[in-house]
Amino acid sequence: MDKLTKEQRKKNMQAVKSTGSKIEIKLSKAIWNLGYIYRKNDKSVFGKPDITLKRFKIAIFVDSEFWHGKNWKVRKFDHKTNKEFWLKKIEGNINRDKVVNRKLRTDGWKVLRFWGKDINKNLKKCLNKIEKVINEAKGKD
């Protein structure tokens, strides 16, 4: 059973941002502090990545564990209410992420996906991964 009332749950879910979340801002500011120019939510790039480094053809996605189904095989049984809706919604997100990854890679993009908690707990590790991909891209120039 849900600990919140229907009205409370609805208010919480409506407050979830699709862009400009705290974890996106944290990562983008850190990338900026490294001296890289990026675009946020660039509609001209398939899948509208959260952050794009067009010069290096790098698309970065910041995925929340809930909406993008981290450990989905185990966690999909956690939903207590409206199970059918959540299964369809989150599995649809997972499948869309796979399609976006495949299309971008086919088009020559490097795709990086980070879980929100990974950014919060170990931002430096995420930045190291980004810089590694940037350095690989520079080597191709």
pLDDT reported for residue 85: 83
Residue 102 placed within a domain: yes
Residue 31 placed within a domain: yes
**CATH number, domain containing residue 121:** 3.40.960.10
Residue 100 placed within a domain: yes
Mean local confidence (pLDDT), 123-139: 95
Give the count of domains, the chain. Answer: 1
pLDDT reported for residue 16: 59
Residue 3 placed within a domain: no
Identify which has the larger pLDDT, 71 or 49: 49
Residue 11 placed within a domain: no
Q: How confident is the model at residue 17 (pLDDT cuts 50, 70, 90)?
A: low
pLDDT reported for residue 1: 52
pLDDT reported for residue 48: 95
Residue 51: strand pairing partners: 40, 60
Residue 1 placed within a domain: no
Residue 10 placed within a domain: no
Residue 2 placed within a domain: no
Those residues with Cβ within 8 angstroms of residue 20's Cβ, 6 or more apart along the chain or in another chain:
40
Tokens of 43: 């509609």
Whether residue 35 is predicted with pLDDT greater than 60 in this model: the reply is yes
Q: How confident is the model at residue 75 (pLDDT cuts 50, 70, 90)?
A: confident
Helix residue ranges, H only, the chain: 6-14, 22-33, 72-75, 83-106, 116-121, 123-140
pTM metric for this prediction: 0.82
Q: Shortest CA distance to 62 belongs to which of 50, 44, 52, 48?
A: 50
pLDDT reported for residue 4: 63
Using CA atoms, how far residue 137 sits from 46, 57, 109, 114, 131, in Å, is: 20, 8, 10, 19, 10
Domain containing 25 equals 18-140
Mean local confidence (pLDDT), 115-129: 95
